[in-house]
Amino acid sequence: MVIPVHDVNPARRTPWVTYALIAANVLVFLTMPGGAGAATGESHLAQLCHLHAFLDHYAAVPQELIHHQLPRLVPTGDVGIGAGGPGCVVGPPGYDKSPPLSVLTAMFLHGGWLHLLGNMLFLLIFGNNIEDRLGHVRFTLFYVACGYAASYGFALVNADSTDPLIGASGAIAGVLGAYLVLFPKVRVWVLVPFLVFLPLRLPAWLVLGFWFVLQAVYSSGEGLTEAGTVAYAAHIVGFLAGMLLAWPLRAGTPPPPEPRGLLWGRRARPGQ
């Protein structure tokens, strides 16, 4: 997959909401149990039990979203010794969980540094121009709406799943879908792994279209042996939701002043 680095599409105003979302995602990740690594001195099992309890409380669960069936027993965060050895203690939840609200909280949770940094990179590169086009308030509503569409869309096709759904990927996929609709001809600097990382400047329609095709392939289970560990269906729904919401603004979006054609080699280097 190509790695986006920068788009040649200057924004007219500071994307404060995009910056705030990035800061909030990083801050939440650092405060999650085990989010910053094993620097707390806890054992791996203790961290795992705390993380499971945290996710059961704040992550979105498809079965809860569709059927509103909350589990009677959840991890408490404590470690106990049972017949099979040490493990996580379960008990009645000591909190009231709102499944619809859990979609919002889950949008700020990530499963690791790679998950977090990958999402934030895409949000930083493509979010500023969508915020510039929509305005701060409308962009905030747009981002949340795409996140909800992605989560509920995934839940509809996985209604009996009890696996936690976390990450900003669905909302950011909506940003990518809107970018494809509003700025298809903008040039995007990407790194293409071909023996070494080859810098290219490609049109957004090619970069984002290729990204969407990959999500569709992975969602079908083809080309990736562990496709079930990532909610690719949520990416697809979020992307389509972003395209749909941005479509009415397409006619009024000015085209970017970019030359045509693909650049490669020395001509593709930044500043050339």
pLDDT exceeds cutoff 50 at 39: no
DSSP the chain: --EEEEES---SS--HHHHHHHHHHHHHHHHSTTTT-STT---HHHHHHHHHHHHHHHSB-HHHHHH----S-EEEEEEEEETTEEEEEEES-SS---HHHHHHHHTT--SSHHHHHHHHHHHHHHHHHHHHHH-HHHHHHHHHHHHHHHHHHHHHHTTT--S-B--SHHHHHHHHHHHHHH-TT-EEEEEEEESEEEEEEEEHHHHHHHHHHHHHHHHTT-S-TTGGGS-HHHHHHHHHHHHHHHGGGSTTSPPP----S-B-GGGGSTT-
pLDDT exceeds cutoff 90 at 99: yes
Better pLDDT: 114 or 44:
114
Please tell me the predicted confidence (pLDDT) of residue 264.
46
pLDDT exceeds cutoff 50 at 261: no
pLDDT exceeds cutoff 60 at 40: no
Please tell me the predicted confidence (pLDDT) of residue 50.
87
pLDDT exceeds cutoff 50 at 37: yes
pLDDT exceeds cutoff 50 at 100: yes
Please tell me the predicted confidence (pLDDT) of residue 268.
45
Average pLDDT taken over every residue of the chain: 86
pLDDT exceeds cutoff 70 at 13: yes
Residue 266 pLDDT grade (very low, low, confident, very high; cuts 50, 70, 90): very low
pLDDT exceeds cutoff 80 at 41: no
Q: For residue range 148-195, list pLDDT tens digits in order.
A: 999 999 999 999 888 999 999 999 999 999 999 999 999 999 998 877
Better pLDDT: 220 or 164:
164
pLDDT exceeds cutoff 60 at 223: no
Please tell me the predicted confidence (pLDDT) of residue 106.
96
Better pLDDT: 197 or 125:
125
Better pLDDT: 160 or 244:
244
Q: What is the mean pLDDT of residues 82-91?
A: 82
Q: Which of 242, 217, 246, 243 is nearest to 230 (CA)?
A: 217
Instruction: Give the per-residue SS3 of 168-212.
Output: CHHHHHHHHHHHHHHCCCCEEEEEEEECEEEEEEEEHHHHHHHHH
In the chain, % of residues over pLDDT 70: 87
Q: What is the mean pLDDT of residues 37-52?
A: 70
